[in-house]
Amino acid sequence: MADKCHSLITERGWGFWAAELKESNQFVGFVGLHIPSDQLPFSPCVEIGWRLAYQHWGKGLATEAANGALNVAFEVLHLREIVAFTAVGNYRSRAVMERLRMQESGTFDHHQVPEGSALRKHCLYRLAYETRDA
Ligand SMILES: CC(C)(COP(=O)(O)OP(=O)(O)OC[C@H]1O[C@@H](n2cnc3c(N)ncnc32)[C@H](O)[C@@H]1OP(=O)(O)O)[C@@H](O)C(=O)NCCC(=O)NCCS
């Protein structure tokens, strides 16, 4: 996965970045921007995503890094909108989206998750450049 992230960053100049602790440069996970390869009901889009090692949960690191990624999305790349999505039961990820003040924007069935799986129903959040600081 690191190789894939690296090659996309090389190709586009941005992507899912490694997240490190500022004080020690310890690698803690990834946070960043991505164009989903799947066709989704709201495509085309750029998503924001995150995954941290468990021992680094509960410290505000995902939200801090995601705010940095949103700054890049809106102030450097001049994107108009960022989306985020996750399984409806992934409350920790949804809480990050809500801390970023993304707007809950309905649900959809993720076609890559088998029918009948509790992970199939996803919720979508959106954040428009115009409303970020409103
Ligand atoms: C999603 C994920 C990144 C969220 O991590 P998280 O630690 O819950 O989120 P944050 O880093 O923003 O931390 C927020 C928590 O830190 C707390 N916190 C502690 N110190 C803090 C500080 N200085 N500033 C802000 N928050 C702080 C907050 O109160 C909050 O705690 P709470 O969850 O008890 O309310 C993590 O659960 C994860 O990696 N999950 C697996 C991968 C995954 O599901 N990714 C999404 C797939 S779509």
Any atom of ligand 1 within 6 Å of the Cβ of 93: yes
80 lines ligand 1 (CB under 6 A): no
Q: Residue 57: phi, psi to the nearest 5?
A: -75, 155
- C-alpha distances (whole Å) from 49 to each of 59, 115, 116 are 17, 24, 25
Q: Which residue matches tokens 């924001």?
A: 48
Q: What are the angstrom distances between the C-alpha of 45 and each of 51, 69, 107, 128?
A: 20, 15, 16, 12
pTM for this entry: 0.97
What would the pLDDT profile of 28-87 be if each residue is shown by its tens digit? 999 999 999 999 999 999 999 999 999 999 999 999 999 999 999 999 999 999 999 999
Give all domains of the chain, ordered by start, each with its CATH number: 2-131 (3.40.630.30)
Peptide bond just before 114 cis, omega within 30 deg:
no
Q: What is the pLDDT of residues 107-121, one digit of tens each?
A: 999 999 999 999 999
pLDDT at 11: 97
